[in-house]
Structure 1
């Protein structure tokens, strides 16, 4: 057994597939886009800093040169050329980046710390940036910002500032600039990979769960991390959808089982009646009576299937298809008028107390059908105790909702069975002797769910009170 066990081996194709999946994720693409935006911003910001730092240094050097020129001008005014040469000689000997040079009209060196200049530079008075050689050297391997003046007698005065510090600073800023961009790109790539891999991991987990669900594990649910992000919200909505699908599937299985069990008896009875009519009918009158019984049984079965079809339609219909504004109170009074004669025939009174102006956006026909089913049940079971009182239907406004109540004085429903009787084909033991198939309350529950309401069964002491609450604002918002 152990000899046959082989562990999966990593292959480049498999690794490349994972990387390709990673690169295709929206998270990685967004991270890469953010990286480009941030890198561009960093490039512009650092470039502006570098350019502005160079400009500030240039301004400082020009200001220093202007201050030197002003001082030398004062010396020239007070002592003439001899005094100027003396001051220049002294300043040129001091350490620093300042440059001084006095030449004759022919360009011969008189005094200063500048060894050589490019040819023709002295013929262009004014400010310039040019190469120069330090004193004692002829190699023009340095650069400086200079101001050139022409003095009386053709003498030239040059005052400048070496730009080596500026160039060094620019070099440092340029190196920092490149390093920063590389770090930004590396951090962006690593961050994008980290974010995308975490998102991909969660998406892969969701995909695996959905595959199990598609394979038949309808109890599977998507994992929720609990941090409230968009994936959590998606997982919660999908879980709610799966829960609803599970309920529908369970309902479908229950309906199939209930049809197989509860409709078997009437179908068998229908078949037996037809068979008995064929075998034992002695004349046309007996055959006609037998056929009337068969038709009555068939009508009952048709009503059952119509109820099942209506419940299925209500559970799959879009709410906007049936919604319109109508007066719930008027509907309750109309349904009450239809059942007054039925209730009186059963020895019961039927009172309808409905407020005026109970406007609801919903389906008038379906709400009327729900009230009719509830009143029909109340008449059917309330007739067992006609001495205890009649049936009372109320419709009233309770805050942002409309409350409909159908109360009778019959035997009621035990509290333990109140949740179960809302399912299809469920009938309590003491109700099996009465006609019906246990679909009335199921249909009412489906109608209430369609209107986003709630259905409650309460004790009427004695009897049963069915309470339907329809949220007006929630329904109106959908329109």
Structure 2
């Protein structure tokens, strides 16, 4: 397909031609209507003028006969204008009037008639068109009263010519405009097609061009670019997850296999076998836990989950989870303090929100332990609390550990991201990723801030007022199952 053929087959060019045809038809009808009405009006005025003159001449004829009529015609013929008069005898000789001669056809006519006459002009004579009424008088005389209508004929000719030229120019500009608009649009479409081909070849960094005009194509390109950026981000995350899975799951699987092989190589002993099986089950539980966390994050990022939203008190839920973790904190040599104020109600899934809070407290205990706090002079403690601000309910968890560098705070919310290069600390690097997924599902966000020293995590969720559960206002249940990741 040639470039010109492709251009002519574009929707824009076809629409331009359609609009041009409709507009041309409407313009032609309007011009014809004006021309027709103008012609009718001029014809009516012409007839009325001739009738008025005939009425006056008839009165003169009745008053003074032929002689009075001849004098009147002679007087009126001397007045400059477009009026034409002739009184001729039975032989066709002019008695009075400004018509020098008439044709035989005009002489034999009766009533309204159009005819061509000659009149003096610079350089000779000229032919003109006239309209007149022919009357036969007693004695074979003729009376012709008319008007020169050559100017009207010229007006009609110029009107027709202007209409044709106008339609021609309209069609020319319409086709040219359609060609120009289609070409500009086709260039943008070709640029979009080229970008999509680049993306289909695997280069997800390609973006659709935006020329800054703010038109519908720009808005579409901006939306698609946001989608492409999100796809690129997800694909990068998928590659990172694949690498981390290979690193984080390969080691426990190898340990699992080696432990079973070692147990099989040893002589049978119930105690050794039991110990090997128990440690194998422990490793398997860790792997299952990791896969469950991955599935939960995938479901949350796909928009699933959270169907059981209800009106709940964030402060009460935080106190419940903190109470569960107090023995764990004491065992690690930490102080866990809960600082909550008045009840703060939001619409949320209690199970998911409780799991997110548990992950935050578990991370704070893990990285705020005394051995990690040692050296910065801070007291090993974890503080949890809630506050309401700007239509948001914030859950705040702080520790006094090493914290997270500002450059890494966005990255640690991804899957399998751990700042420990050795990965010696237990965990899969999915805790904060699950918290971020829960926040996005509820229309909220997660912020990581400096606690000077330590880390301050803020989980912000919107306060939506009263919630409906299964079509009716639901009271808040008192318990929740908490599964930290």
TM-score by length of 1: 0.81
User: Match of 2:292?
Assistant: 306
Q: Any conservation in 1 of the 2:117–2:129 contact (CA below 8 Å)?
A: no
Alignment of 1:75-154 (within 5 A): 75-76=60-61, 79-92=64-77, 96-102=81-87, 111-112=96-97, 113=99, 115-116=102-103, 117=105, 121-122=109-110, 128=112, 130-134=113-117, 144-147=130-133
State how far apart, in whole Å, the 1-side matches of 2:60 and 2:54 are.
Answer: 10
Q: Any conservation in 2 of the 1:281–1:287 contact (CA below 8 Å)?
A: no
Q: Residues 45-98 of structure 1, C-alpha deviation per residue, up to 9 Å, x if partnerless?
A: 322332233234324423533553465456556644312212213434666432
State how far apart, in whole Å, the 2-side matches of 1:273 and 1:416 are.
Answer: 40
- The answer to whether the aligner puts 1:284 opposite 2:270 as a matched pair is yes
Q: Any conservation in 1 of the 2:382–2:397 contact (CA below 8 Å)?
A: no
DSSP-derived class of the 2:448 partner: strand
Q: Any conservation in 1 of the 2:416–2:429 contact (CA below 8 Å)?
A: yes
Q: Any conservation in 1 of the 2:360–2:432 contact (CA below 8 Å)?
A: yes
Equivalent of residue 263 in structure 1, options 249, 257, 261: 249
Which structure has the higher relative contact order (CA within 8 Å, separation 6+)? 2
State how far apart, in whole Å, the 1-side matches of 2:441 and 2:139 are.
Answer: 108
- The answer to whether the aligner puts 1:227 opposite 2:206 as a matched pair is no
- The answer to whether the aligner puts 1:239 opposite 2:239 as a matched pair is no
User: Match of 2:34?
Assistant: 49
Supply the RMSD in Å over aligned alpha carbons: 3.4
State how far apart, in whole Å, the 2-side matches of 1:209 and 1:417 are.
Answer: 32
Equivalent of residue 275 in structure 1, options 214, 237, 261: 261
DSSP-derived class of the 1:434 partner: coil
The 1:80/1:355 distance shift into structure 2, 3 A limit, reads farther
Aligned length: 445
Q: Any conservation in 2 of the 1:131–1:142 contact (CA below 8 Å)?
A: no
The 1:133/1:202 distance shift into structure 2, 3 A limit, reads closer
The 1:168/1:423 distance shift into structure 2, 3 A limit, reads same
Structure 2: any 5+ residue segments left out of the alignment?
Answer: 120-126, 468-485
The 1:189/1:135 distance shift into structure 2, 3 A limit, reads closer
State how far apart, in whole Å, the 1-side matches of 2:433 and 2:78 are.
Answer: 109
- The answer to whether the aligner puts 1:326 opposite 2:310 as a matched pair is yes
- The answer to whether the aligner puts 1:367 opposite 2:350 as a matched pair is no
DSSP-derived class of the 1:391 partner: strand
Q: Residues 427-463 of structure 1, C-alpha deviation per residue, up to 9 Å, x if partnerless?
A: 2339944311111011222232344433210122333
Deviation at residue 290 of structure 1 after TM alignment? 1.1
User: Match of 2:434?
Assistant: 443
Equivalent of residue 206 in structure 1, options 165, 171, 192: 192
Q: Any conservation in 2 of the 1:28–1:192 contact (CA below 8 Å)?
A: yes
Greater helix proportion: 1
DSSP-derived class of the 1:465 partner: strand
The 1:331/1:359 distance shift into structure 2, 3 A limit, reads closer
Q: Any conservation in 2 of the 1:336–1:350 contact (CA below 8 Å)?
A: no
Q: Any conservation in 2 of the 1:25–1:196 contact (CA below 8 Å)?
A: yes
Q: Any conservation in 1 of the 2:89–2:141 contact (CA below 8 Å)?
A: yes
Q: Any conservation in 2 of the 1:340–1:350 contact (CA below 8 Å)?
A: no
The 1:377/1:146 distance shift into structure 2, 3 A limit, reads same
User: Match of 1:7?
Assistant: none
User: Match of 1:349?
Assistant: 336
In terms of mean alpha carbon deviation, does 332-341 or 154-163 score higher? Answer: 154-163
User: Match of 1:294?
Assistant: 280
Q: Any conservation in 2 of the 1:225–1:232 contact (CA below 8 Å)?
A: yes
Q: Residues 359-386 of structure 1, C-alpha deviation per residue, up to 9 Å, x if partnerless?
A: 33x6444333322211222233344369
User: Match of 2:22?
Assistant: 37
DSSP-derived class of the 1:346 partner: helix
In terms of mean alpha carbon deviation, does 94-103 or 250-259 score higher? Answer: 94-103
In terms of mean alpha carbon deviation, does 426-435 or 141-150 score higher? Answer: 141-150
User: Match of 2:12?
Assistant: 27
State how far apart, in whole Å, the 1-side matches of 2:349 and 2:57 are.
Answer: 101
TM-score by length of 2: 0.80
Equivalent of residue 424 in structure 1, options 397, 415, 423: 415
Q: Any conservation in 1 of the 2:344–2:393 contact (CA below 8 Å)?
A: no
State how far apart, in whole Å, the 1-side matches of 2:156 and 2:87 are.
Answer: 31
User: Match of 1:10?
Assistant: none
Q: Any conservation in 1 of the 2:385–2:395 contact (CA below 8 Å)?
A: yes
